Amino acid sequence: MVLDLTPLVQALAALAFAALAGATPYLAPMLRRYLRVQLTATQAATIQSAAQAGAQAAYGYILESAGNFGDVTIRNAALATGVQHVIASAPEAMTALGVTPDHVRHMVEARFGGLLAADPTVTIAPPSLSA
């Protein structure tokens, strides 16, 4: 006695396909939402690492020009260098997340301040008057 399960398997396969096809409209938005979160996190990390590199570029600008970071003109030029670096490094991520150049400037400026704070040669004390 041979038991042929072919018709049963075919019927179950058809039912499984129908269930999957019926669930697709409900599963697709959830999957798309999940992938969007992953993409957004990746884009944010890209912008953050570009901002860190931009702050280092601004810090390097001040070192190369042997300028005083307290001089507003030099500081603004250094920060502009950092902002341009970020804009050139991650334009797609900035557009996707709606990050403006003003946001980037604040990010670079904050990281730039951290680099200055870590530098032992930088001081906020007024210059001493030598007689």
Q: For residue range 85-94, what is the model confidence (pLDDT) as tens digits?
A: 999 999 988 8
Compute φ and ψ for 121, nearest 5 degrees. Answer: -85, -10
pLDDT at 84 over 90: yes
Mean pLDDT of 57-70: 82
Average pLDDT taken over every residue of the chain? 83
- The domain spans of the chain are 19-118
pLDDT at 58 over 80: yes
pLDDT at 98 over 80: yes
Write the burial class of residue 80 (CB in 10 Å: 0-12 exposed, 13-18 middle, 19+ buried).
Answer: middle
pLDDT at 115 over 70: yes
pLDDT at 29 over 70: yes
Asked if residue 83 lies in contact with residue 55, where contact means CB atoms within 8 angstroms, the answer is no
Q: For residue range 2-22, what is the model confidence (pLDDT) as tens digits?
A: 888 888 888 888 888 888 888
pLDDT of the residue at 127: 56
